[in-house]
Amino acid sequence: MNKKLDDIYSSEKRFQSALKTLETCGICEENKQHIQKFVQSKRACGVKPIRLKKQVAVLRTFSQIVAKDLENVTKEDIELYLCELEKHNYSSWTKIDYKVVIKSFYKWLLGEDEVTPKLVSWIKNKEPRDCIMPEELLTEQDVLSAISVCQFVRDKAFIHLLYESGVRIGELLTLKIKHITFAEPISSILVNGKTGQRRVPIIKSVTPLKKWIEQHPYKDNPESLVWIKTNERISNLRVQGNRLPNSVLCYSAVKKLISVNFKIAKVTKKVNPHMFRHSRATFLAKHLTEAQLKQFFGWTQSSDMAARYVHLSGRDLDSIMLQINSAYH
């Protein structure tokens, strides 16, 4: 995660807040020190603040449940904790992440960060199968309904582009004006993701995106981020070189933007930034090859994500069933 993306997630601020909460919570001083030293070690290894914040929160909760020095925890204590974890209505991925943090902590505490100790080696981090039903995915009509109720031009452009491009939320939030190419017959955006830069073609979101860029307070600055607070909220700000202090749209603001507009549009499906990518990938899997999907969504050639989406879309099965059916007519 680069510095600009880190800022978008307010990572450092959230991490420091987690540390303050740790200081004032009711766990024993020994555990506070264990956790502080652990995250200090991880930060020295390059772990980002947003991840450190999660580690602090998980270990604080773990300490509250086991109610003893973490150095004296037994397998039974961990089993009881995991049983409590399963009672919560967390997603499968969240539960896996909690287990990953616990294993990482004890690898550091008891295994000198090199060997996973027997105390936690039995914990399995098996990836859950995608359990999202087709009817839970966002459709183009769902997206258009939300766009139709948006108050700001910026919000219309953001939601439309997030869906059509299928990019990761971090890739979209770090998009600069210079990364947009308006052209005929097809426009594009250049995003920087996990696998490096890639060009993403766009068509239907071009018109609302153009309207937003025309209104953008810093449209003449190619280094300006595309997604900033609306004009009404930044009227008193001044550009300082290429920096736009306090005007950048952050992740929490995006979640609210999406949630509010879909609620007004009476779209009752679960909506979050990643659901746009998941829905778009499932839709395009019916039309693109696996190689094309990997290129479009920025997956590595060794990734099995494209194959999973093709499977979820039922494309191959649909094609075969149509062929079988046509043979009888």
Interior CA angle at 44 toward 38 and 48, to 5°?
A: 85
112 located within any domain: yes
Residues of the chain with pLDDT under 50: 1, 3, 232-246
131 located within any domain: no
Determine the residue type at 251.
Y
278 located within any domain: no
- Containing H/E element for 310? helix 305-313
Count of structural domains within the chain: 3
Question: How many whole angstroms separate alpha carbon 132 and alpha carbon 38?
Answer: 35
Q: pTM for this one?
A: 0.71
Is the Cα torsion angle 294, 299, 301, 306 positive or negative in sign?
negative
Question: How many whole angstroms separate alpha carbon 197 and alpha carbon 200?
Answer: 10
Looking at the fold, whether 41 and 113 belong to one and the same domain comes out as yes
276 located within any domain: no
88 located within any domain: yes
Looking at the fold, whether 81 and 165 belong to one and the same domain comes out as no
pLDDT at 9: 63
Looking at the fold, whether 74 and 144 belong to one and the same domain comes out as no
Looking at the fold, whether 312 and 256 belong to one and the same domain comes out as no
Question: How many whole angstroms separate alpha carbon 277 and alpha carbon 40?
Answer: 34
Looking at the fold, whether 289 and 318 belong to one and the same domain comes out as yes
150 located within any domain: yes
Question: How many whole angstroms separate alpha carbon 13 and alpha carbon 204?
Answer: 37
Is the Cα torsion angle 34, 15, 97, 113 positive or negative in sign?
negative
Looking at the fold, whether 67 and 142 belong to one and the same domain comes out as no
pLDDT at 239: 41
90 located within any domain: yes
Looking at the fold, whether 20 and 95 belong to one and the same domain comes out as yes
pLDDT at 316: 62
Looking at the fold, whether 260 and 309 belong to one and the same domain comes out as no
129 located within any domain: no
Q: State which of 121, 151, 179 marks the end of a domain.
A: 121
pLDDT at 92: 82
Q: What are the C-alpha distances in Å from 88 to residues 81, 193, 238, 250?
A: 11, 33, 46, 28
Q: Which domain holds residue 153?
A: 137-271
Looking at the fold, whether 116 and 22 belong to one and the same domain comes out as yes
Sheet holding 196-202, edge to edge: 180-181, 187-193, 196-202
Question: How many whole angstroms separate alpha carbon 85 and alpha carbon 79?
Answer: 10
Closest-CA residue to 136 (of 302, 264, 282): 282
Looking at the fold, whether 98 and 219 belong to one and the same domain comes out as no
Q: Are 149 and 161 in contact (CB under 8 A)?
A: no
